[in-house]
Structure formats: C-alpha cells, structure tokens
C-alpha cells in the first residue's frame, strides 16, 4: 500500500522558495534546445497585445513547452544564463538535479557538486535584468546534493548576496559573498549519522534553520571572526533545545496545562516540514516543526534563549477529524486508522497553518483519503472542519 510519507512534496508557502526536480527541468531544456516548439502557431495568454511596456517587455516573453485543450505549460520570463542551459541540457542522466526560485529574486541550480546561482528578477527600480551569474562548489558528499539545502540571501538591498550550503551528511559551507568562490569557511554539524532535509533562512540576525530527516533542528549563524584571527568569516552551529534548569521548563509546563499532556518527541520522529513565520519583532521568528505525529513551536530572538512554546500531538486531532467527517463513529475508531501528516503550509498572518493529511481505514477499504485542516497555532484548535479532498 502506498505510504504518503515516503515521498516528499515540493510545495511551499508563498514566502518560501519554489523547488523544481531534475526531470522536468532537463526535459524542458532539451526540448527548447531542439527547437521543436513553435510559439507562433499557438498564442500565449501572457502575450496580451497592448499591455507590455519597454520596462517589462523582456519579462513578458514566454514560450510554449507543452499543452492541450485542458492545460498549457510555458516558459515565462527572461532566458536562463548560458551555463545554466548547458548544465540542464548536457548533464549526465545519473546526476541528481534540483532548483529553487527564491522570493528575493535569486535562483540556484544544483547539479552534482556544482551550484549555479543567478539573478532571475530585479528590483522594480531597475530597468534591465542582469543575470549576475556565479558558480560555487558544494562540500564533498557520498549522497546527492539538493537545492533545498542551499540558501542565498542579502542583508542589504543591492549588496552581493551570501550563501550557506549544507551537504546531506551535515557539512556546511558559508560564503560571505558569492563573488569570491574560493573564499568560504566550512564546518561540521556533527549529526552522528542523521541526514539533512532542508535549510530555511530566518533572517540576517538569526541565520538559517537546518532540519534533519529525523526532526533534529540546528541554528546556523554566519558571522565574522575576531580581529586577532584576521576577521575570517565563520559560521556558528547550535542545536535548538530548551534551557536546562527549573525556569527553563516553565513555558512547557504552562502549555501542558492548556493543551494537555505534551508528548516528548523521540529522536527518530520523521520530519514532515520545518518553517519559519514572523515573530513579534522584525528580527524575531517563530519556528514550526511538524514531525510524523506532533507539532513543535519554537520562538527565537537574538540574544535570548530558545523557547519551546509547546509540542502538540497533532495526529490525535487528525484521527478524530477523519472519524467524524469521513467514516463516522459507527464504522471506525480513531485507533484503527492509519494516518499520515504530509505537509504544512503557513497561511496569511501568523495565526494558523494548513496541514495536508491522509488516512486509510483498513476495516473498510484500502482507499487513501486526503484532507486539509486549518490549525490555529496560537490556541491549538481547528479553525475549520477538515476539507476532504477527492
């Protein structure tokens, strides 16, 4: 039987990068290079006469890749840098490839140990799109590198961006500027056999959140060394954890009084998704970590200890929702269902998230039922009745 947790989706919130897999990128590039698509025969909906201007004409260029009466797939925007097209077209079929489009306007493609970074969108104040292409080399790894383990970011507008990249084994490279490929520092996160899953940028003051497939979370904070050390670039690594001592557990104990008994997340809990959402102040973030059965909410602020606000058994809510709205109490009990948490999506604002789930009732059939549920992350209750997907 199919298990949803076995394959990871690539959907994400509007504020997170969009990811693409190697198969679609390589096929599109080869078809485009072969010249077998003719856009003159089929009109693009993006090419609306009279609506383009000299400023955005280059961004309105599109090319039909594939289509039918029900759908159309088009390449949209400016052309890719020549080396990116070359990598997409001529890469060995056994090499894993992945790409990310960042909301900041930067894109990157991972092909083996090659990291290709370019600017795909300029600020509104600039008239001409300049690719600003750079190529970096990722850390050595016995596993396939992934674009989801790379973050490209700028602390100031117009500044050459920095880059943090992690290998699946947990070796991290930090470039203070991507303009100097050979100038970087490298550290080991000492994950003791755990595999990295994703890297999330939390802001210039906090750095990046590195999450493993078994729900371990670490904070990577780029910085600079001391003057005595020549001012060399550094990156500090520490694991998120509740402060030790009596006072460190107060927030957790208060949360248990409100939400009930909080399960302790086991080290091997399968990670579903780790995301950051805005905090009370611009440089603060709340971090949500969804594992196979629970949701953790951390609060991070520069110069303050990590705060675990709560850890909630989300799977319990999911089971009850499926029983009440799919099979009914007379046909199913919550304990007999097989339930998976598939993905998590922050919604507008900071109060709720959408959780994609799936379940099977073996006593009835092997049909897999998907559902969406909106969960309030402030008070831990369902805003809406779960939406059952066909």
- For residue 368 the two structure tokens come to 């897999």
**pLDDT band at 320, cuts 50/70/90?**
confident
HEC sequence for the chain: CCCHHHCCCCCCCCCCCEEEEHHHHHHHHHHHHHCCCCCCCCCCCCCCCCCCCCCCCHHHCEEEEEECCCCEEEEECCCCCHHHHHHHHHCCCCCCEEEEECCCCEEEEEECCEEEEEECCCCCCCCCCCCCCEEEECCCCCCCCCHHHEEEECCCCCCCCEEEEECCCCEEEEECCCCCCCCCEEEECCCCCCCEEEEEEEECCCEEEEEECCCCEEEEEEEECCCCCCCCEEEEEEECCCCCCCHHHHHHHHHHHHHCCCCCCCCCCCEEEEEEEECCCCCCEEEEEEECCCEEEEEECCCCCCEEEEEECHHHHHHHHHHHHHHCCCCCCHHHCEEEEEEEEECCCCCEEEEEEEEECCCCCCCCEEEEEEEECCCCCECCCCEEEC
pLDDT confidence bin for 126, thresholds 50/70/90? low
Q: Percent of the chain having pLDDT more than 90?
A: 43
User: Alpha-carbon distance 163 to 160, whole Å?
Assistant: 10
Backbone φ, ψ for residue 324 (5° rounding) = -70, -35
Give the count of domains, the chain.
1
**Of 191, 116, 104, 117, residue with least CA distance to 154:** 104
Q: Identify whether 149 is part of a domain.
A: yes
Note whether residue 371 is domain-resident.
Answer: no
Mean predicted confidence (pLDDT) in 55-66:
58
Indicate if the pLDDT at residue 362 is higher than 60. yes
pLDDT of residue 125: 52
Instruction: Quote the CA–CA distance of 155 and 161 in Å, as a whole number.
Output: 7
* Structural tokens at position 193: 């056999």
Round the average pLDDT of the chain to a whole number and report it.
Answer: 77
pTM of the model: 0.76
In a domain, 310, yes or no: no
Range of the domain at 167: 1-239
Share of the chain above pLDDT 70, in %: 69
Tell me whether residue 268 is in a domain. no
Kindly state the average pLDDT of the residues 348-376. Answer: 88
**Is there a domain that residue 326 lies in?**
no
Please identify which residue in the block is written with the tokens 């959140």: 209
C-alpha dist (Å) from residue 229 to 57, 172, 221, 273: 50, 20, 18, 38
Tell me whether residue 367 is in a domain.
no
pLDDT at 380 over 80: no
Residue 263 included in any domain: no
pLDDT higher at 78 or 325: 325
For residue 243, what pLDDT is reported? 67
Residue 282, in any domain of the structure: no
pLDDT value, residue 375? 87
Band (pLDDT 50/70/90 cuts) for residue 158 is confident
Q: Give the strand order in the sheet containing 369-376.
A: 338-346, 352-360, 369-376, 387-389
Length of the chain: 390
Report how far apart, in Å, the C-alpha atoms of 312 and of each of 21, 158, 180, 316 are.
32, 42, 44, 9
293 contacts 269 by C-beta, under 8 angstroms: yes
Bridge partners, 219 (sequence order): 209, 238
The contacts of residue 299 (CB under 8 Å, 6+ apart) are 279, 284, 285, 286, 287, 306, 307, 309
At 110, the pLDDT band (50, 70, 90 cuts) reads very high
């Amino acid at each position: 039987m199919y298990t949803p947790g076995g394959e990871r989706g690539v959907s994400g919130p509007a504020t997170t990068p969009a990811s693409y897999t190697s198969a679609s990128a390589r096929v599109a590039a080869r078809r485009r290079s072969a010249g077998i698509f003719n856009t003159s025969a089929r009109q693009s909906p993006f090419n609306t006469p009279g609506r383009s201007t000299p400023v955005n004409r280059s961004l309105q260029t599109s090319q039909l890749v594939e289509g039918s009466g029900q759908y159309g797939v088009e390449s949209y925007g400016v052309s890719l840098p020549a080396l990116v097209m070359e990598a997409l077209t001529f890469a060995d079929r056994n090499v894993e490839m992945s790409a990310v489009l960042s909301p900041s306007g930067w894109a990157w493609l991972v092909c083996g140990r090659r990291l290709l970074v370019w600017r795909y969108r300029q600020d509104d104040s600039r008239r001409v799109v300049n690719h600003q292409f750079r190529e970096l080399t990722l850390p050595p790894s016995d596993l396939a590198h992934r674009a989801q383990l790379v973050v490209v970011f700028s602390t100031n507008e117009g500044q050459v961006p920095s880059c943090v990249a992690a290998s699946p084994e947990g070796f991290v490279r930090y470039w203070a500027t991507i303009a100097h490929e050979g100038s970087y520092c490298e550290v080991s996160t000492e994950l003791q056999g755990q595999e990295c899953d994703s890297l999330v940028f939390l802001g210039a003051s906090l750095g990046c959140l590195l999450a493993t497939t078994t729900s371990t979370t670490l904070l990577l904070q780029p910085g600079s060394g001391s003057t005595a050390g020549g001012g060399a670039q550094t990156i500090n690594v520490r694991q998120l954890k509740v402060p030790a001592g009596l006072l460190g557990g107060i927030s957790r104990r208060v949360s248990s009084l409100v939400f009930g008994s909080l399960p302790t997340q086991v080290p091997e809990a399968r990670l579903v998704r780790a995301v950051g959402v805005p905090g009370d102040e611009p440089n603060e973030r709340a971090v949500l970590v969804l594992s196979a059965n629970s949701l953790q909410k951390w609060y991070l602020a520069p110069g303050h200890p990590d705060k675990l606000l709560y850890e909630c058994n989300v799977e319990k809510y999911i089971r009850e929702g499926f029983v009440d709205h799919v099979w009914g109490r007379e046909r199913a009990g919550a304990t007999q269902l097989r339930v998976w948490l598939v993905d998590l999506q922050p919604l507008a604002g900071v109060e709720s998230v959408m959780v994609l789930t799936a379940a099977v009732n073996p006593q009835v059939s092997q049909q897999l039922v998907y559902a969406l549920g909106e969960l309030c992350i402030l008070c831990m209750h369902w805003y809406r009745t779960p939406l059952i997907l066909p």
